[in-house]
Chains A and B, each alone.
Chain A
């Protein structure tokens, strides 16, 4: 890696967009998306679109705590601390896109973000500006999941949409939860490359002759590709989510083993540099940003890590030094809200300089592409007709993204407790899920946008108080472990009927305390409690959670769970939490 200190000064150019954006995007000049021409290779990056084909709302977190060495460092900044760090003006369109500040007020002013027809327009424009054969479009994964449509069609809608968008390489996470057969069928129709250097056959599967890319390495998928861009060789390595069989039911990927695979990655980078004569090496990563930041410090020879998974919309590339020089780390948000633009100035065998921009996709500033609009309509119409009836209206903003709770999850927990007459409900801390404004009709399509997964079955079981505490401790450690490699990138499991205190900076076993039921009684370690939930890694038989939620929302006026059922300790002054 060949960046020098003065190269980073140019990165401040990434913030220029923020200040250049007009106060009111709606009335903006067409120049909002005008980028200064730079370099000779333009790499466009989308990630974690979660199948959001249409423009939508997505509220960024007001709680995204970093603990220990990660405290106060990107991506663990929210609200005004985020604006200050990246030089974004309060109450601007960018402040709306990148933070939760004044969300509802700003949503009315600046409108929806994303949408594949709008993305298509922006991508085509930026590629045309770069000139023919001077650009590349990459998708960091979590493209095939997140809507009822994608779940019903098992990702096939997104294969068509990303083909039309022009995606040239994809890596995966939720893509794997459709299982090997669907994954391979979809990939057969996908026009780009599916890249994953860190997915291998298990020893058993290899012994039994399961399909691999090459038996010698045991790799299941192509690990990397090299594309000629403007006369230079740009290598892209795919890094799938490293913990698929841990975070999801192993039955979806029984033959495959994952992991970060640092050593294999280093060997691959070295061979791309020496044998393939790559002028630039990029990692298209679904590790999550904290993992990518650590990886960048331990592996050398990567120019840029284009990251996803943790849904962190970070306007600048973060420079990380390692034994070979410097690697830049980005993370490009979620739900189609953002388009990452990496302009590389390539010289023989190295990257001379870079510019990075993370552009919010303001749908009201972009004319939707007609062909993509037609494709989306054609795919959607037959499927969504039955999902358009109003189930209810909710009198508050519905969102999920925050470390500990979201209003959507409070509704789910309430529905689960009522359905199963359970004392306690648990709901996973996913980071996907649409945001819906208050007092709007909520439809089955909306309910599915919060719940559509391939293992939606609900359950009710009897757990002891200590089992409940251990579950909370385990999930909390996946969020706040001091070692990023021991984090899985989701948020804390959501709870209903229960309250607790959490000290994120403690170690596992010591973070969770003061567990109490809603009636004020302390949870006793040996006593049994009825616990309802969904998205278990073990097979369950209950009704899909979307049906439970729709049934309960439709049957009675929804009752709010207390939203402040987690008391945080030891986080005063942490810029990863918005001051109330």
Chain B
């Protein structure tokens, strides 16, 4: 599991954003919202998290391919300030969102995070992904039984030598 969402500042941000009506089931948030986890009632997508190939992870998770959508707002830095904790957030105006996933194709395990979104929940997620090197970051949003995506390239550099 490469997401570092369990770190408290991020958790706090999610709580604040959710304003009390979010029930969020985030795999890997072991100390957070156990009731929501129980409510999600889906089994952990172990095979998808083991994948080395982005397309295969998406297929295992959703059984379909995604189409790009401009209704997904993916916020990620152009160049990471620290590849170990890259702040990446997604929100969407798509209706009836049931899950959100983050795929980083250049990571050793490409599926970075997968969130089940219960009905009535505002789909607005901020998390931090660990990135070993420059890669696109793909946000997948499952909405009304269809799969949509947005992507942005995030550069990871050794730094130094700036003008």
What residues make up the interface of A, taking CB atoms closer than 8 Å to B? 173, 203-204, 206-207, 241-248, 250, 257-260, 263, 288, 309-311, 428-432, 470-471, 474-475, 477-478, 481, 483, 485-486, 488-491, 493, 508, 535-537
Contact = CB atoms under 8 A, between A and B. Distances in A.
Interface stretch (B48-56, B95-103, B114-122, B154-162): B154-162
B161 A475 contact: yes
B78 A488 contact: no
Contacts of B160: 247-248, 428, 475, 535-537
B163 A490 contact: yes
24 contacts: A206-B9, A207-B9, A207-B12, A241-B162, A243-B79, A245-B81, A246-B81, A247-B159, A247-B161, A248-B160, A257-B81, A257-B87, A430-B163, A432-B163, A470-B158, A475-B161, A478-B161, A481-B155, A483-B153, A488-B79, A488-B162, A489-B163, A537-B159, A537-B160
Contacts, number: 90
Contact residue range for chain B?
A: 20 to 34
A537 B77 CA distance: 20
Best-surrounded residue of B75, B77, B153, B161 (most CB of chain A within 10 A):
B161
A508 B79 CA distance: 15
Contact of A488 (B12, B87, B163): B163
Contact of B162 (A204, A206, A247, A536): A247
The B contact surface, by secondary structure, is: loop
Nearest to B157: A474
Contacts of A493: 161
B134 A508 contact: yes
B5 to A, nearest CB: 11
A248 B160 CA distance: 5
Interface string B76-89: 01111110000100
Given A288-B163, A490-B161, A259 B10 contact: no
B129 to A, nearest CB: 14
Contacts of A508: 134
B13 A203 contact: yes
Contacts of B79: 242-243, 246, 485-486, 488
A247 B163 contact: yes
Contacts of A204: 9
A258 B155 CA distance: 14
Nearest to B128: A203
Nearest to B154: A486
Contact of B157 (A246, A260, A428, A489): A246
A258 B162 contact: no
Given A203-B9, A257-B87, A478-B161, 13 more contacts: A203-B10, A203-B13, A207-B12, A243-B79, A247-B162, A250-B81, A474-B158, A475-B160, A483-B153, A485-B79, A486-B78, A488-B79, A491-B163
A233 B163 CA distance: 34
